[in-house]
Amino acid sequence: MTLIVGCSKQADVTQPVENKEAAYEPAPPNEPVEIITLTKEGRLSQGDCMKRKLNDKVIMLESMFCGHCKATMPDFISACEGKGIEPIVLDIADNEVRSEMKSYGVQAQLTPTFIFGCHIVLGAQSKETYLRLCDEFLAKQ
């Protein structure tokens, strides 16, 4: 089963993609897709979170083709490091990274997407928001 997450924001910066088919490999057509309902705060249920082994992870799903990702990454990394958190940054355009994403039961279609334990945040945020999300994450550890 796969949890699909994404963001509706599109990058202001576009870069040419030489081989889009190689960069973005869709999920196999026969792979079951699980639709998960998030709370209005963007949280997974504790059971879904534990099943995916996300409860103790802070993850940024980004893409080398995403302008918003490049713009927000320094604030995200700085906020995490300032709170003593070592985030996992996964480039969804890298086919080798897809196996790690699959191990968490996550398939991102659009970026940036952030996972703070059981809390999923779509789209670029301010450094202050990342700091708050880190504090909330640490409070649940």
Confirm whether 123 is domain-assigned: yes
- Over residues 42-60, the mean pLDDT reads 82
Averaged pLDDT, 66-74: 94
111 falls within a domain = yes
Q: Quick check: is 62 in a domain? A: yes
- Binned at pLDDT 50, 70 and 90, residue 35 comes out as low
Q: Which residues pair with 3 in a beta bridge?
A: 106
State the average pLDDT over residues 48-75.
89
CATH no. for residue 66? 3.40.30.10
Domain count, the chain: 1
Q: Which residues contact 16 (CB under 8 A, 6 or more apart)?
A: none
79 burial type by CB count under 10 A (0-12 exposed, 13-18 middle, 19+ buried) = buried
In a domain, 73, yes or no: yes
Q: What is the mean pLDDT of residues 104-124?
A: 84
In this predicted structure, which of 2-11, 16-25, 50-59, 125-134 has the lowest mean pLDDT? 2-11
Q: Apex CA 96: angle with CA 79 and CA 127, to 5°?
A: 10
Range of the domain at 102: 34-139
Q: Note whether residue 16 is domain-resident.
A: no
Query: Is 54 inside a domain boundary?
Result: yes
Q: Establish if 12 belongs to a structural domain.
A: no
Residue 127 within any structural domain of the chain: yes
As a whole number, mean pLDDT of residues 97-111 equals: 76
